[in-house]
Amino acid sequence: MYAKKYGKTIKLFLMDADPEGRMVCEISNWTGKAYRIPRAKVKDCADRSDLKGTAVYILFGRADSPTAKPKAYVGETENAYERLVKHVSDKEFWNESVVFTSKDENLNKAHIKYLESRLCDIAKTAGRFDIQNGNTPTRSAISEPDQAEMEEFIEYIKILVNTMGFRVFEPLVKANDASAQSPDVFYVKGARGASGRGRRTSDGFVVFASSEAAVDTVPSFPKGFKALRDELIETGVLGMSGEKLLFTADYLFSSPSAAAAVIMGRSANGLIEWKDATGKDLKSAEEQEISRAEKAK
């Protein structure tokens, strides 16, 4: 029996009346508060008293190349404003920060050390970002009631960070979603050893680790996809194993067609090339889903 999930109300306040500026985010009935602060706006937070207390924070930086991961750093502090000012000077990679504080000032040093360690561990396990922490921070020992409270705090952090567009805590694919029994898994096969498995996600198409790409490409292979494929090989996402060219990890493509093209080594219409276990192509599957949804109204 699954517990029913209820909707959440998230309040956003644009502190600078600018969607690219500072932002305060709150969830109804939660004692926490999140600040999204661009690097260039840190200097404008000197008068924020609620940023002078204990907090856990995340720094975010962009990827260095199309195939590289974006960067993130998880930290804790007893004065968020002073720590961000310091990071402006000593950490070059980041351009956005998200700071989490407590409105009831109930977060102590042990709490934020626990949050820092858990969030860093979750982010590393998810594998979406290149985590800049050298090691997972030491996790403080807290009481069982406090631990339960902090785990709930983490769930709200994950909701807000995801809402802001930073999917640092979300794995590309959940374990059950990669199962061969999942109706959302699609397959592609082609010449020269191409044989891939993957699934649609809300931000693209994920090809699963151990999928096989064609060992070479056709002369007419589009330059853009060739450059992407070459970089995947150079960075080790695609690697030779005997006579096979395999994906060494799950990889997110921008579209089903990009995924199919890289695997097959030729131009490909992903909506037609990807097929489910029954042989139905992705285009037909999506059309059927829309039809069912409309009939259910």
Tens digits of residue pLDDT in 77-89: 999 999 999 999 9
Across residues 145-155, what is the average pLDDT? 96
- pLDDT at residue 260 is higher than 80: yes
- pLDDT at residue 2 is higher than 80: no
- pLDDT at residue 286 is higher than 70: yes
| pLDDT recorded at residue 104 | 82
Residue 202 pLDDT level (bands cut at 50, 70, 90) = confident
Amino acid at 280: K
CB-based contact 270:264 (threshold 8 Å) = no
Q: How far apart are CA 128 and CA 205, in angstroms?
A: 14
Say what percent of the chain tops pLDDT 70.
95
| pLDDT recorded at residue 103 | 87
Residue 105 pLDDT level (bands cut at 50, 70, 90) = confident
Across residues 232-243, what is the average pLDDT? 94
| pLDDT recorded at residue 214 | 97
- pLDDT at residue 178 is higher than 70: no
pTM: 0.83
- pLDDT at residue 179 is higher than 80: no
| pLDDT recorded at residue 1 | 44
Backbone phi and psi for residue 102, each to the nearest 5 degrees, phi listed first: -115, 130
